[in-house]
Amino acid sequence: MSARLLIDVGNTRLKWTIADDSGLLTPVQALAHGGDPAALVEWLPLPDGLHDAWIANVTGEAPGERLAAALSIRHRLQTRFARPVDGLAGLALAYPEPTRLGVDRWLALLAVWTRERAAACVASAGTALTFDAVDSDGRHLGGIIAPGLFTAQAAVLGATRFAASGPSQHYTRGLGSDTDACVRQGALHACAGLIDRLAARHPGTRYLIGGDAGTLLPHLDGVWQLQPDLVLSGLATLARS
């Protein structure tokens, strides 16, 4: 049975796993890439016998090409980049131009749809906060893109003259009692409130992914499934297809 390398290059981290032909994944590992994912290739402890590499990349064409070249030189791997495809596995995309949909959002939806074949929504909490919904017929209903927790704080602090120390992750469930805490809590309630508002309008299983998913989860209403590796699961589905 052949094995392949799956890589998810997000805005801040590179995540990778090994998948066999059945879609079974090894434990996912992650490293911050600092804007240059190719520089991490020599540090990836990859096994021998890999068939190829599939990449989901949101950092732009140039960093992606450097990553592919590094994998070819260092590990002799043929690389393929994931691109959104309308109708794959019965998932009909809302975007008139499917390639303009973020590949990470599409792969997460693909994983959810092929797993559930039912209505569902996916919220991703990272540098950006995104939300997408699919109905019981496999129709992508669209989504939103908004500032994530850190990005929202940075936006407020960058546009004001508040005497604050900067973005932080020290959240509570209530209100802030100083400027730093008020900015943090504003970001938290904005992100959590937006997700709750949209989830209430779109029935189905709720999935939460992204680097800040664990931080947001305790502040959300309803039942959410924390699925940090959903993009890689979708990538495995794509590679098998």
Same domain flag for 127 and 209:
yes
pLDDT in tens, 220-241: 999 999 998 999 999 999 998 8
d(CA 107, CA 54): 12
Query: pLDDT class for 168, splitting at 50, 70, 90?
Result: low
Is the pLDDT at 25 greater than 70, yes or no?
yes
Percent of the chain at pLDDT exceeding 90? 80
Same domain flag for 160 and 61:
no
Residue 204 domain boundaries: 91-235
- The single-letter code of the amino acid at 161 is R
Would 241 be classed as within a structural domain?
no
Closest CA to 97 of 107, 106, 86, 87: 86
Same domain flag for 10 and 102:
no
Closest CA to 109 of 3, 239, 205: 205
Would 240 be classed as within a structural domain?
no
Number of domains in the chain: 2
pTM of the model: 0.92
- Is-contact 32 13, C-beta < 8 A? yes
Is the pLDDT at 54 greater than 60, yes or no?
yes
Choosing from 63, 81, 99, the residue where a domain stops is 81
Active-site amino acid positions: 104
pLDDT in tens, 57-98: 999 999 999 999 999 999 999 999 999 999 999 999 999 999
pLDDT of residue 166: 65
Choosing from 38, 55, 81, the residue where a domain stops is 81
